[in-house]
Amino acid sequence: MEEAVVIGAGPCGLSAAIELQKIGIDPLLIEKENVVHSIYLYPTYMQFFSTPELLEIGDYPFSTPNEKPTRQEALTYYRTVASRRQLRVRPYQRVTEIGTAGDGAYKLTVADASGRVNIVEARHVIVATGYFDQPNLLGIPGEQLPKVSHYFREAHPYAGTKVTVIGGSNSAVDAAMELLRAGAEVTVVYRGDTYSPVIKPWVRPIFESMVNKERIRMWFGSRVTRIDEASVTVVKDGQEHTIENDFVLALTGFHPDRSLLRAVGAAFRDDDEVPLFDPETMETTCPGIYIAGVAASGRNANEVFIETGRNHGVWIARHIASKR
């Protein structure tokens, strides 16, 4: 019987595990990929919006010569912290179900990469599953075509091609800029009437300049309604337009996976699918089951960031300690 299991080894899951160590619990972390896999999926040359101290966990300093850390630096930092703390991470194992085990404990069904299943029992479960593998789908014809991706890694494969970027947040703007530098012909389709207020302030002037110079084609107040092998259909002001196209990057955001919490009987707020939880302890309506990180957000995953979600583990550990 484990005292505590953390589902997910992202920054917030790692932070929660370290806080549990501080109160004398050696938690087991079960991760469907590897440590901070969501950050691994970020664009290769991405730079964080946050300063390094806001990404720190477990009182370990995040050293970097840059004002804003890079993705590569973050990968190194988090895996180093996990190693230094000797966290018990089981990578490439997926929790497929949480059930009750009697005596107030829980039974986790865990499948490894080969499909073999084993059972782990725990008195406390912290769900820190993140959101980056749950893209917000467009729900339009052609979205399933191989030319469409909801992730952007780097621009090189798109050199010399016509790329439509769907979205207007930082991910879309960063991708458009990288694609332009790699020699792609870039069209950005955004449903907003003007630039998003969340665009990084040091990036927006450059992006606007590229749009004004018509090096990036920007469609405001527009939406893609169909994707075909050699084109996309865009609706603007009630009129349909056909744009020649080789690839589509649908960078429309992500949402948390609620299936584990729903299966175990946790209650949800009806308006935005947020799990009901005590904001002082992060405990859900199922005693002993907690949420950490983006799992505590609604449909808008940007409600919770690393710099806020890393504190959830402190509150969880404090609550567990008070019951011991």
28: nearest Cα among 72, 71, 90, 80: 90
pLDDT at 173 over 60: yes
Write the CA distances from 192 to 120, 221, 222, 293, 301, integer angstroms: 47, 5, 8, 28, 19
Token pair, residue 44, equals 């290769």
| Mean pLDDT value across the chain | 92
77, 82, 83, 84: CA torsion to nearest 10:
80
Report pLDDT digits (tens) over 211-221: 999 999 999 99
Which residue segments constitute the domains of the chain, with CATH numbers given? 2-134+254-323 (3.50.50.60), 148-250 (3.50.50.60)
d(CA 21, CA 27): 7
Strand order in the sheet with 239-244: 222-227, 231-236, 239-244
Report pLDDT digits (tens) over 24-38: 999 999 999 999 999
Residue scoring higher pLDDT (297 or 261): 261
Over residues 224-245, the mean pLDDT reads 97
Q: How many CB atoms lie within 10 A of CB 224?
A: 24
Q: With a threshold of 0.85, does the pTM exceed it?
A: yes
pLDDT at 307 over 60: yes
Q: How high is the pLDDT of residue 301?
A: 52
Report pLDDT digits (tens) over 92-129: 999 999 999 888 899 999 999 898 999 999 999 999 99
173: nearest Cα among 190, 156, 159, 149: 190
d(CA 315, CA 306): 15
- Where does the pLDDT of residue 165 fall: very low under 50, low under 70, confident under 90, or very high at 90 and above? very high
d(CA 28, CA 305): 23
Over residues 272-292, the mean pLDDT reads 91
Report pLDDT digits (tens) over 48-57: 888 899 999 9
178, 184, 185, 186: CA torsion to nearest 10:
-30
Q: Are 88 and 109 in contact (CB under 8 A)?
A: no
- Where does the pLDDT of residue 303 fall: very low under 50, low under 70, confident under 90, or very high at 90 and above? very low
d(CA 112, CA 128): 18
Q: How high is the pLDDT of residue 299?
A: 55
- Where does the pLDDT of residue 320 fall: very low under 50, low under 70, confident under 90, or very high at 90 and above? very high
Token pair, residue 202, equals 């040091």
Over residues 164-171, the mean pLDDT reads 95
Q: How high is the pLDDT of residue 168?
A: 95
